[in-house]
Amino acid sequence: MKIAILPGDGIGTEIVEQAVRVLIALDLKLETETALVGGAAFEAHGHPLPESTLKLAQEADAILFGAVGDWKYDKLERALRPEQAILGLRKHLGLFANLRPALCYEQLTHASSLKPELVAGLDILIIRELTGDIYFGQPRGRRIASDGHFPGAEEAFDTMRYSRPEIERIAHVAFQAARKRSRKVTSVDKANVLETFQFWKDVVTEVHAQYPDVELQHMYVDNAAMQLVKAPKAFDVVVTGNMFGDILSDEAAMLTGSIGMLPSASLDKHNKGLYEPSHGSAPDIAGKGVANPLATILSAAMMLRYSLHQPAAADRIESAVRTVLTAGLRTPDIWSEGTHRVGTREMGDAVVAAVTGKTITKS
């Protein structure tokens, strides 16, 4: 099994380093190869997703990805910005299904900005369509308006679009995931306003006919944003389009206390995947050794489960994370009174110790 390691920018390098240490500690005979991506690749090769990095990602059995982006690249033309690397990987590898679990660890209930009783035991799975919608729809660009409110004025435009097969395949992913959970899917749309999302709703409803054992609910995205903070535990599997999923998954992540805890998987039709933390490159704390590596470590666990078919190893990582949290170890993003503040490396050390069955001592 070969894993492409793409640490990227900002805190990406620090957190991926810890996840790789955890994988090595499991002694699974995995081969790894590291490559530059994002701003780091732009600096070295003049492009955020060099051919060589894309080729490595295509050949590998799975990809472990850190994060990309830095404000210093905001002035670059769009095609050269770090974000294009992750968008390009999603597109070129056909990674259409993005799984973003939002799990509130019992030990971190008090780190949430919501009342503990609202989030205790929270376990939501957001399934975001990742290669369509307004993110990739053509045409897009800038031009002089020929109609609209200000004909003759400069304008910009993007295209929201979804085809039937794109909606069908993500709906199947959601219903199948629901069968392994509590058999409840909420499809989030904006069918009251947008043609694209009326079609989304119609197609999801049709696919649902093949899953009579799963309950399907439809919800408008504005209401979903509200319900997520009002009664988040009412959700189980949430399936939605690329842009709504981008927004709602950050919101759901924050319910759990810290986005620093949440892994994600982006899968193609064969379950080959790219695994990355749900958070970004956090340039403000990069290089300080304070970033939380747990989301990346948990992404490595998802990789073992979904793409490398090693569920026992995935369990070992997930239970090691619970062990370190129970031992009271906390990076600053999840620290609270009475717990033990540690840095990125110490957190990695603790997880490595826990997966190898060593006891964790607080220094």
Interface ranges with ligand IPM (CB under 6 A): 83, 86-87, 246
Residue 123 contacts Mg ion per CB under 5 A: no
Nearer to ligand IPM, 86 or 204 (CB): 86
Q: How far is the CB of 246 from ligand IPM (least distance, A)?
A: 5
- Give the nearer residue to ligand IPM in terms of CB position, either 246 or 251: 246
Which of Mg ion, ligand IPM, none does residue 87 bind (CB under 5 to 8 Å by kind)? Answer: ligand IPM
For 112, residues 6+ apart whose C-beta sits below 8 A from its C-beta are: 104, 118, 119, 254, 255, 256, 257
Q: Which residue of the set 55, 72, 202, 222 is catalytic?
A: 222
Residue 266 CB-half CA count within 13 A: 27
Residues 244-303 touching Mg ion, rule: CB under 5 A, are 246
Please name which of 141, 211, 203 lies closest in space to residue 178, comparing C-alpha atoms: 211
Based on the residue annotation, tell me whether 135 is a catalytic residue of this protein: yes
Pairing between β-strand 184-189 and β-strand 97-103 as defined by DSSP bridges: unpaired
Task: Give the count of residues interacting with Mg ion (CB under 5 A).
Answer: 1
If contact means CB under 5 to 8 A according to the sort of partner, which of Mg ion, ligand IPM, none does residue 19 touch?
none
Instruction: Tell me which stretch binds Mg ion (CB under 5 A): 18-26, 102-110, 186-194, 238-246.
Output: 238-246
246 is a catalytic site residue: yes
Please choose, from the candidates 235, 269, 265, 273, the residue with its C-alpha nearest in 3D space to the C-alpha of residue 252.
235
Q: Which is nearer to Mg ion, 262 or 300 (CB)?
A: 262
Pick between residue 257 and residue 348 the one whose CB is nearest to Mg ion.
Answer: 257
Is residue 222 annotated as a catalytic residue, yes or no?
yes
Instruction: Give strand ranges (E) for the chain.
Output: 2-8, 31-34, 62-67, 97-103, 123-129, 141-144, 154-157, 184-189, 215-220, 237-240, 263-267, 273-277, 329-330, 340-341
What is the set of active-site residues?
A: 135, 190, 222, 246, 250
